């Protein structure tokens, strides 16, 4: 490691001078960029074992799970391992008060019992190709608009053209896309295959899969068995197909071998996955914007919403099931925002990025390239000019669009109104049928109107406290005019009078449908006004986008030129990446030291039968007290649960396989520590840790706890 890369505690860490374990590396560039460093840390494989464009490799066993997680193939019969929280919505969808799989867990004891999941998909990456020259030539030839260089629509049209429609037709389930890297200074094309028949095989109860829940989220030490199992099905020829009882388990090109030996402190570990988004190339002004607007608004609003939601969940078991996923989703981003702001302030990210900018300006002056200094000046101005609009947009989004569920009711009522004003009875019946379907989609099994009413009052009061009246949606003037500023009375009025306020109201409307009733429905008018304000803010902010993206491309292009062969990894963008490091604990603050391995002892020490987050199932306690850990125990007799590593991860890495130096599966990534979430902006070598379920705990739970040991028969477990 060069001396200039050791300046973290002194001054600047260049984004192009990666620290020991920093990086989300592109697989095709692994050999030339990082492979020597990986071998120095202990890797025993060749680069082609990890990524081989001409044959199978570890890459082929790693998949996109759903829309935002990673999974890994662990058997020749298409068995997929991912996180419990990645499969949570499917587990929730199959749950009811009669069959509460969230509470009890679920295990298919035969393949006939595996549960279908419409809408869920698993995607393989078949090929990765550098298409930078191709895209640049087409951009120039097409005389394209300023923002096409980042446009997914434009780039994916190029991808289909390059692949050829006949190729896509001849390969069912195959998709292609081109993604920009380094703000549009490079482009790569990905050929993918997506399978849509994915069935739930098994999941532990939430008391294991979410043990510690929100208290432990983003925290270490951790004692959560965060995993679930699914299986991919295909047609008889192995091609992607919609669900059919005739489909068969997929025979994948590659699956992972599993090791039950674990790894020791400082041993090599690596991870392949699909990290979602990082901001390594933020300017100092974007860092301040993220801290003072995005994160501050999210922290404030979500805290209020979550307190109200949790109170209702604890009061009513039915509400707990309805809102478990909503609550978990909300708290995840909430705690991330708090941790990121803490890192920004304590590690002085604003200053670090400012020093990087000054370095580029000085270099550009020496090389007579004034465009880079000009780009920075423009970026500073744009961030300043959009400040108020961005605050209003974040407030609207967090408090109203996300915070109030009825803000998303269907508002396109014109076809119904026109039909009711006309004389065509058949058309009226059809439009009322469609409206009823829309109502049912909103007023579904996951919606509790009284919970929404309670939260809406809190959200609206806070929104009106922080956003001036002249910057609020137009319909909100009614609150002052008719209700003398009483937002609570206004919300009660919406629920008591709107056809969407309660099921009785909708039934009454269907008995005597009226165009006038729809046109004057206060909840529909509320939602329309919020949507109109959202569109207006989106349009106003979009006016800055073209210049902003162009200046960022120029800025990052300047960094690429300045650092030359010191080039580092591009920001995460949900494309497949590799990260590596070591199993290691850390010292978060003075006189506090965390080891890198947790055990079942810690689960029992945290047990609290009065707190839903720390309830321990009786069966798990029985196994613990009997010390019935089977072959999954460590050499000291302890039952491993989780471990931490210095690998560089972010959202999207949930479910990523963690591999040892020989490429064997030793764990599943599921979280990051509180002190390290700022690593999305700047890597924190002394503090950033991935939190990983030990694969031995997963096997123990499948075998000893669930009694589903038959699943282990199809796994490749190293002796």
Could you tell me the CA-to-CA distances from 153 to 169, 226, 276, 552 in Å, in that order? 20, 36, 19, 20
Torsion of CA 495, 501, 503, 508, to 10 degrees: 80
Residue 452 is among the residues annotated as catalytic for this protein: no
Could you tell me the CA-to-CA distances from 278 to 59, 94, 282, 683 in Å, in that order? 22, 33, 9, 10
Q: Find the catalytic residue in 197, 214, 226, 397.
A: 226
Between CA 696 and CA 629 the distance in angstroms is 10
Q: What is the DSSP string of 1-23?
A: --GGGG-TTTS---TTS--TT--
Residue 85 is among the residues annotated as catalytic for this protein: yes
Contacts of 516 (CB under 8 A, 6+ apart): none
Nearest to 192 by CA among 86, 60, 77, 58: 60
Nearest to 311 by CA among 451, 212, 458, 448: 451
Task: Pick left, alpha or beta for residue 53 (phi over 0 → left; psi -120 to 50 → alpha; otherwise beta).
Answer: alpha
> Tokens 């302890």, residue?
638
Q: Find the catalytic residue in 85, 498, 571, 690.
A: 85
User: Is the separation of the CB atoms in 556 and 408 below 8 Å?
Assistant: no
CB atoms < 10 A from the CB of 392, how many?
22
Q: Is 271 helix (H, G, I), strand (E, B) or coil?
A: strand
Between CA 180 and CA 163 the distance in angstroms is 17
The single-letter DSSP state of residue 44 is -
Q: Is 334 helix (H, G, I), strand (E, B) or coil?
A: helix
Q: Is 432 helix (H, G, I), strand (E, B) or coil?
A: helix
Is 619 exposed, middle or buried, given 0-12, 13-18 or 19+ CB atoms closer than 10 A?
middle
The pair of structure tokens assigned to 362 is: 């000085």
Nearest to 705 by CA among 646, 628, 647, 653: 628
Q: Find the catalytic residue in 75, 196, 259, 654.
A: 654
Q: What is the DSSP string of 68-128?
A: TEEEEE-STT-EEEE-TTTSHHHHHHT--SSS-HHHH-EE-SSGGGPEE-TT--EEEEEEE
Task: Pick left, alpha or beta for residue 111 (phi over 0 → left; psi -120 to 50 → alpha; otherwise beta).
Answer: alpha
Residue 654 is among the residues annotated as catalytic for this protein: yes
Contacts of 284 (CB under 8 A, 6+ apart): 350, 351, 353, 354, 357
Task: Please list the active-site residues.
Answer: 85, 226, 654
């Amino acid at each position: 490691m060069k001396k200039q890369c050791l300046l973290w505690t002194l001054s600047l860490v260049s984004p192009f001078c990666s620290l020991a374990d920093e990086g989300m590396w592109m697989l095709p560039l692994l050999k030339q960029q990082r492979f020597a460093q990986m071998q120095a840390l202990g890797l025993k494989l060749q680069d082609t074992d990890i990524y081989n464009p001409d044959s199978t490799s570890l890459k082929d066993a790693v998949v996109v799970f759903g829309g935002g997680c990673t999974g890994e193939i662990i058997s020749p019969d298409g068995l997929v391992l991912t996180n419990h929280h990645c499969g949570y919505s499917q587990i929730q969808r199959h749950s009811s008060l009669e069959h509460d799989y969230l509470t009890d867990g679920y295990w298919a004891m035969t393949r006939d019992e595996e549960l279908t999941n419409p809408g869920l998909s698993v995607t393989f990456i078949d090929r990765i190709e550098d298409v930078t020259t191709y895209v640049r030539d087409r951009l120039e030839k097409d005389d394209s608009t300023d923002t096409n260089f980042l446009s997914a629509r434009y780039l994916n049209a190029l991808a289909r053209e390059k692949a050829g429609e006949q190729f896509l037709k001849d390969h069912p389930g195959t998709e292609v896309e081109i993604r920009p890297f380094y703000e549009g200074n490079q482009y790569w094309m990905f050929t993918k295959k997506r399978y849509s028949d994915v069935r739930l095989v098994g999941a532990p109860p939430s008391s294991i899969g979410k043990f510690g829940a929100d208290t432990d989220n983003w925290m270490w030490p951790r004692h959560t068995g965060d995993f679930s199992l699914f299986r991919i099905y295909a047609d008889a020829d192995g091609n992607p197909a919609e669900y059919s009882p005739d489909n068969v388990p997929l025979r994948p090109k590659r699956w992972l071998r599993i090791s039950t030996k674990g790894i020791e402190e400082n041993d090599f570990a690596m991870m392949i996955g699909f990290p979602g988004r990082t901001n390594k190339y933020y300017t100092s002004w974007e860092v301040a914007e993220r801290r003072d607007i995005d994160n501050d608004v999210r922290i404030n609003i979500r805290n209020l919403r979550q307190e109200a939601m949790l109170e209702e969940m604890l009061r009513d078991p039915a509400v707990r099931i309805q809102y478990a996923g909503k609550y978990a989703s909300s708290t995840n981003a909430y705690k991330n925002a708090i941790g990121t702001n803490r890192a920004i302030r304590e590690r002085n990210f604003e200053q670090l990025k400012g020093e990087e900018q000054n370095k580029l300006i000085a270099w550009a002056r020496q090389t007579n390239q004034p465009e880079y200094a000009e780009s920075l000046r423009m970026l500073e101005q744009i961030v300043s000019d959009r400040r108020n609009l961005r605050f209003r947009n974040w407030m609207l989004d967090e408090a109203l669009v996300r915070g109030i569920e009825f803000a998303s009711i269907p508002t396109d009522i014109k076809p119904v109104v026109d039909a009711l004003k006309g004389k065509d009875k058949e058309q009226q019946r059809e439009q009322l049928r469609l409206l009823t379907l829309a109502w049912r989609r909103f007023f579904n099994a996951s919606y509790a109107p009284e919970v929404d009413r309670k939260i809406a009052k809190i959200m609206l009061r806070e929104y009106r406290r922080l956003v001036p009246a002249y910057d609020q949606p137009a319909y909100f003037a009614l609150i002052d005019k008719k209700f003398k500023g009483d937002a609570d009375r206004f919300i009660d009025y919406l629920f008591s009078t709107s056809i969407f306020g309660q099921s009785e109201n909708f039934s009454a409307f269907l008995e005597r449908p009226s165009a006038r009733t729809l046109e004057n429905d206060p909840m529909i008018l509320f939602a329309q006004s919020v949507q109109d304000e959202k569109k207006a803010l989106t349009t106003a902010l979009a006016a800055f986008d073209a210049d902003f993206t162009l200046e960022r491309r120029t800025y990052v292009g300047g960094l690429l030129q300045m650092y030359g062969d010191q080039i580092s990894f591009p920001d995460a963008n949900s494309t497949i990446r590799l990260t590596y490091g070591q199993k290691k604990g850390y010292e978060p603050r003075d006189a506090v030291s965390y080891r890198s391995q947790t055990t079942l002892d810690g689960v029992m020490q945290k047990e609290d039968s009065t707190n839903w987050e720390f309830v321990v199932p009786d069966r798990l306690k029985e196994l613990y007290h009997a010390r019935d850990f089977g072959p999954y125990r460590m050499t000291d007799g302890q039952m491993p649960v989780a471990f931490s590593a210095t690998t560089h991860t972010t959202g999207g890495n949930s479910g990523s396989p963690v591999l040892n130096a020989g490429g064997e599966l030793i764990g599943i990534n599921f979280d990051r520590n509180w002190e390290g979430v700022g690593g999305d902006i700047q890597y924190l070598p002394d503090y950033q840790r991935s939190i990983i379920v030990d694969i031995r705990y997963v096997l123990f739970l499948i075998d000893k706890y669930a009694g589903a040991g038959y699943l282990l028969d199809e796994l490749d477990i190293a002796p």
